[in-house]
Each structure stands twice: as C-alpha cells, then as structure tokens.
Amino acid sequence: MTENLMVLKEKTHGHNDIDEKQQFEKPQEIMTDEKPTLTKKTSSHGRPRKSKSGCNFSCKQCRKSFSQKSKLDVRMRVHTREQPYICEQCEKSFGQKQSFKAHMRIHTGEGKFTCQECGKSFYHAGNFAAHMRIHIGEKPFSCNQCGKSFCQRPNLDVHMRVHTGKKPYTCEQCGKSFSQIQNFKTHMRIHTGERPYTCQKCGKSFYHAGNLAEHMRTHTGEKSFSCKQCKKSFSKKQHLIAHMRVHTREKPYTCEQ
C-alpha cells in the first residue's frame, strides 16, 4: 500500500512539473496562410493613421501647412483674393464660409450678442468675447520683439509687420504696397474715385473717415489740438505741428539756391 502511494505521488509530481513548464513557456506561433489584421500603419478600425505632424498639404506661397486639403483651399483664397460666398441681400462677398454665415446673422438677427458696457452688438460669440477684452483691459497677445500687447490675435499679426517689414497688399495700378488691408482699401479709392464719407452739412466727400471727422471741426468750431506752451488751440494736427516751430525755432525748409 505504501509503495503504491509512493508511485502515484511520483507520477503526480511529474505531471505538475510538465504543467508548470507549459504554463511559463511562450506559445509557439502557428504558421497559417492568413494575413494579419493589424499592421503598424493601420489603426484598429482599418483606417490609415495620420503622420505625427498631421500636416500633409502645404501652401506654395507662404509655406503654411494643413491637415486637410479643404483647409488649404480656404487658405489659398487669401492669396488669390477669391470670394465665392456672396450675400444675396447686400451682395457682400467672403472668402470663407464661416465668415459668410456670421455675416448672414446681420440680416436674420440670429444669435445677437450685446455688450452691457457700451451697447455694441455682435453676431458671432468669438467677436463678442474679443470685444469684451477692451472693457476688462485683458491683452493676452504680446509681441515677442517689443512687448506690446493686444486684445485680439489679428491685431498682433498686423503689428508684427512693423518688425518684419512685410507688406502683403499691393496696388496693381501703381505698385504701392501696404501692411494693413484697411490702408490698402483706402488707397484704392484714389484710383476708383470712390469717396464714401460725405459731410451732411456741406456735401463734401472724403476717401477716409478720419478726413471727414477732421473736416467736421470746421463746422463745429472744435479745436482738439492744443499747444502745451502757449495753450493756443487748433482744429487740425498739422496746424499744431507748424505752430510748434515758433517755439522750437525749427526751420525744416531750406532753399537750395
């Protein structure tokens, strides 16, 4: 009886050794003709993975890169000035669909955001949020060259052209270039003859709103520019500058003959 138990124990112990060895051994690969379902370049859903940068479409003019071709197409309209989205109500055109949709809210009155501080209204939440920074004094966008700060990112982008000297807006008629699109548009009125700012009192028209504001002082008698030395006031800044030469005795105009 004792011998039988010893034999049984040895057999059982032998089986346990085999089981433990099989438990820790790596399973052998089974060779089949089936192709693997996952590869390094394929996701779990079978779609190709994007590259690390994710930017496969580059603009040939400014080298800016995008993850989608549709975004590159939108970017190209900045260079070509193409504006395919036209408002049927006022005929204003836009290069981006999002800008067109935001404009349409002017006509529909949809999603109007009103500033409680000054009463100014906006049809886009992002524009409203950017406007509110003016009142709270928040200027999160700073120039890394001179430290000047701005409420809105586009204002910083325009300011950076002061340092880079970049003037992306060029007049095709006279070749003059501008760093700001508003200055470019104002300049174009010289060629088109457009004078959109008209004095309601005398009917005189101007290219620029600032020129109209300056002209209005001739009617109101307002003199906003004062000499700090003699307190004399002027309606135009250039008149004050000319007056200051009386005190500084500056004589910038020299006869060459």
Q: By the 8 A CB rule, do 66 and 60 touch?
A: no
Cα–Cα nearest to 135, from 154, 155, 151: 151
**Domain around 185:** 139-192
Number of folded domains in the chain? 3
In a domain, 224, yes or no: yes
In a domain, 128, yes or no: no
pLDDT, tens digit (0-9, with 9 covering 90-100), for 185-233: 999 999 999 999 999 999 999 988 888 998 998 899 888 889 999 989 9
In a domain, 175, yes or no: yes
The residue count for the chain: 257
In a domain, 92, yes or no: yes
In a domain, 108, yes or no: yes
In a domain, 31, yes or no: no
What does the pLDDT read at residue 111? 64
Sequence-ordered alpha helix ranges (H) in 41-178:
69-80, 97-108, 125-136, 153-164
Q: In CATH, what number is assigned to the domain containing residue 83?
A: 3.30.160.60
Q: What percent of the chain has pLDDT above 70?
A: 78
In a domain, 102, yes or no: yes
What does the pLDDT read at residue 21? 39
Q: Where are the beta strands (DSSP E) in the chain?
A: 57-58, 65-66, 85-86, 93-94, 113-114, 121-122, 141-142, 149-150, 169-170, 177-178, 197-198, 205-206, 225-226, 233-234
Judgement on whether residues 188 and 230 belong to the same structural domain of the protein: no
